Structure 1
């Protein structure tokens, strides 16, 4: 990966379909997500090679992952190994993260170690609302121990989710699990763990800013929202106290980097901060420098 040639690093993209056409969410939840984000069909389920070509055309790298929530949903994820292999084949633009359902227990920890040591995975995605667990639940602590030991990254969905939005009962998905304040316990118990709080954390934006300001290892990505909707305090902190800890993320394919970057260009971000958010902070956190 040639950092000098990259214009940005998108730290939040989803592999939503496997090479065999399998999706990790059922059609009702996928359709609800598409409606929530107003996603056009052309972008809804790109394959991994299509994602690589898309980001290569834009001279942008992308962190890519699935969500393993099989315990709660009954559906297996897009295979982590498939994502890692696609990233290895497109190492100029794709950076592999994995996802392990915390309910997999010791088997999940063993799988996580293999993914790091044999497949070059650089981080792990958790979606507490879909996976049905509080981040500070001790069942996930063996995974955090492995992530801290290997120097990889733990990325947590925070705030409201478009998955299940508008479905009766929200499809059974509970928002309470994704309050970023639960991650504060994780950051305190694993002081050397590298953490990303994903998304503007509505309705808990101030909690996310407090945790990221207080805990050195905690960062914030800006995915899942058009920047024109960012709350003022998020923009203020990104420009000042958290200028070295805020990261560009789109949430592709539900939000394209084209739209995100166009709206981000209109924000009052300082000239010296803009390249930090778009590329430099992520390159340092991911060990790409």
Structure 2
């Protein structure tokens, strides 16, 4: 049960990692090590879901947490959504479970999405076009989007270039073109009632991201994957004004710690009335949670 009145923030972007050594030796450890160097992450091995929950509980921050189903494109073994949901269910006071399904799974993926929402309490879905190797506006995605729209839960999309594959030979085979936020404009048109969250400051397409979010009222932005001191001024300007009700705190744990992100965010020129919206209130509204002075159990 989330005690929303006591939480100081809701982190909308954290990654579920398997215990080191529990997955096949398929190169995933090399990717994680390269990302840790890029972000200067403070851990030796990626934290488990239980370790993530303990860290966030200590920080008094709730976390949306998810895997990434990139098995087809990368060869990295899929961390099953059911496993993630079951692990997350041990920490209902602090973790909010999302799932991830490769859109190339087609109608099978759509059936899985419906089952995960109905039977496992999944609250949203994560997509990573760069890792999963697809354009978000490819019509093959539509059956899965239809299932998500029916469920009324958010679809969270990686956008822009962050640290994944950075510095690795050939970028680890990952193509940045898939994560241009403008591809999501088509999705927002055809699924106007599906909440769409564009993750990260969308470098090098920041203005495209802002344009889509301003134009399409079902589109949101999370601020994960970048330390706040690097946010471009135009992003801060829009977060303070036109998009103040649709911008979300996100860290990109475990690469960036929530407390480190919040410390830098405190130094940004964000208006006093807007700051609590970004840190917690917007996420509460998007997730359909109760007001800050009530307790609500996530089903």
TM-score range, shorter chain: over 0.9
Q: How does 1:113-132 map to 2 (within 5 A)?
A: 113-132=114-133
Aligned residues: 288
1:260 is aligned to 2:261: yes
Q: Deviations over 1:221-280 (max 9, x none)?
A: 000111010000000000000000000000000000011000000000011100000000
Q: Does 1:168 align with 2:169?
A: yes
1:115-147 CA-to-partner distances (Å, cap 9, x unmatched) read 100000010000001100000001111111011
Partner in structure 2 of residue 48 of structure 1? 49
- The alpha carbon displacement at 1:28 in A equals 2.4
Q: 1:26 aligns with which of 18, 25, 28?
A: 28
Q: Distance in 2 between matches of 1:22 and 1:286?
A: 31
CA distance in 2: counterparts of 1:17 and 1:25, whole angstroms: 14
- Comparing 76-85 with 181-190, which one deviates more in the overlay? 76-85
- Aligned 8 A contact 2:17 2:46 in 1: yes
CA distance in 2, matches of 1:178, 1:106: 23
**Unpaired stretches in structure 2, ≥5 consecutive residues:** 291-299
Deviation at 1:22, TM superposition (A): 2.1
Counterpart residue number, 1:133: 134
Instruction: Kindly provide the CA deviation profile for residues 146-173 of structure 1, in whole angstroms up to 9, marking residues without a partner as x.
Output: 1110001100000003111111111110
**Shift in alpha-carbon separation, 1:259–1:2, aligned structure 2, 3 A:** same
Deviation at 1:61, TM superposition (A): 0.2
Asked if the contact 1:18/1:78 (under 8 Å) is kept, the reply is no
- 1:182 has 2:169 as partner: no
- Is the CA contact 1:161–1:175 (under 8 Å) kept in the aligned structure 2? no
2:249 paired with 1:275:
no
Deviations 1:18-73 (A, max 9, x none): 5972278622222221111111224x411111111111111110000010011101
Give me the CA root mean square deviation: 1.4
1:38 pairs with one of 37, 40, 56: 40
Cα gap change, 1:56 to 1:25, in 2 (>3 Å):
farther
Give the 3-state SS of the residue equivalent to 1:216 in structure 2. coil
Please give the per-residue CA displacement for 1:62-89, whole angstroms capped at 9, x wherever unaligned. 0000100111012222221122122222
What is the alpha-carbon distance in structure 2 between the residues aligned to residue 45 and residue 78 of structure 1? 14
Q: Which aligned segments of 4 or more residues in structure 1 are displaced greater than 6 angstroms?
A: none
The 1:89–1:137 alpha-carbon spacing in structure 2 relative to 1, beyond 3 Å, is: same
